[in-house]
Amino acid sequence: MKFGGVFETHWGDSAKAKFVLFLLREILKGRVKACARFNGADNAGNTGKENGVEIVVHNLPISVCVPGVDSFIAPLCLVSLPRLFSNEMPELAEKGVRFDRLRIAKETFTVLQWHRDIETLEEQALGATKRDGTARGIGPAYGDITRKYAISVADLLDPDALKIKVQENIAIKSMIAGLAYLRRMENQTMKEFLNYGEQLRPFVVETDPYLCKLNHENRDDDLILLQQAQGAMLDIHSPSYPYVSSSGMTLHDATKIFRITPDDFEFRIGVCKAYTTSVGKRDFPTQLTDKIGLGLQTRGAEFGRTSGRPRDCGWLDGPALRHAIFLNKLTHLFITKLDVLDQEPEILVCTDYDREGQTLSRAPRLGLGNCRPVYRSFKGWQKTTAGTRKLEDLPSEARTYLDFIQEYAGIPYIGVSTGADTYDTIWIG
Residues forming the site for ligand IMP (CB under 6 A): 11-13, 43-45, 132-134, 136, 138-139, 229-230, 234, 243, 245-246, 279-280
Minimum separation from the CB atom of position 46 to ligand IMP (A): 8
Min CB(262)–ligand IMP separation in Å: 24
Closest residue to ligand IMP using C-beta atoms: 280
Nearest to ligand IMP of 12, 419 (CB atom): 12
Of the pair 73, 398, the CB lying nearest ligand IMP is at 73
20 vs 374 by CB, closer to ligand IMP = 20
List CB contacts of 304: < 8 A, sequence separation 6 or more: 13, 45, 134, 279, 310, 311
CB of 199 to ligand IMP, least distance (A): 24
Task: Give residue 274's identity as a one-letter amino acid code.
Answer: A
Alpha-helix residue ranges (DSSP H) falling in 99-222:
113-126, 138-147, 153-156, 159-173, 186-200, 207-217
ω into 159 cis (within 30 of 0)? no
C-beta closer to ligand IMP: residue 231 or 319 = 231
Which of these, 210, 219, 212, lies nearest to 1 by C-alpha position?
Answer: 219
Q: Output the CA angle 330-335-339, nearest 5 degrees.
A: 170
Q: Among 236, 240, 46, which Cα is nearest to 138's?
A: 236
CA 104 to chain centre: 17
Q: How far is the CB of 16 from ligand IMP (least distance, A)?
A: 9
CB of 130 to ligand IMP, least distance (A): 11
> What is the DSSP-derived secondary structure letter of residue 152?
B
- For ligand IMP, the closer of residues 116 and 173 by Cβ is 116
- Closest contact distance (angstroms) between CB of 359 and ligand IMP is 28
CB of 242 to ligand IMP, least distance (A): 9
Closest CB to ligand IMP among residues 204, 229: 229
Pick the closer one to ligand IMP by CB: 134 or 189: 134
CB of 361 to ligand IMP, least distance (A): 25
Cα(287)–Cα(278) distance, integer angstroms: 9
* Residue 208 C-beta: closest distance to ligand IMP, Å: 28
Which one, of 206, 2, 176, lies nearest residue 106 by Cα? Answer: 206
- DSSP secondary structure string, 201-241? GGGEE-HHHHHHHHHHHS-TT-EEEEE-SS-GGGSTTSTTT
Nearest Cα to 23, choosing from 302, 316, 227? 227
d(CA 149, CA 228): 25
End-to-end CA, the chain: 21
Q: Which of 316, 318, 366, 317 is nearest to 340 (CA)?
A: 316
Cross-strand bridge partners of residue 46: 57
Query: Between 103 and 136, whose beta carbon lies closer to ligand IMP?
Result: 136
Q: Using an 8 Å Cβ cutoff, are 27 and 316 in contact?
A: no
Which CB, 136 or 165, lies closer to ligand IMP? Answer: 136
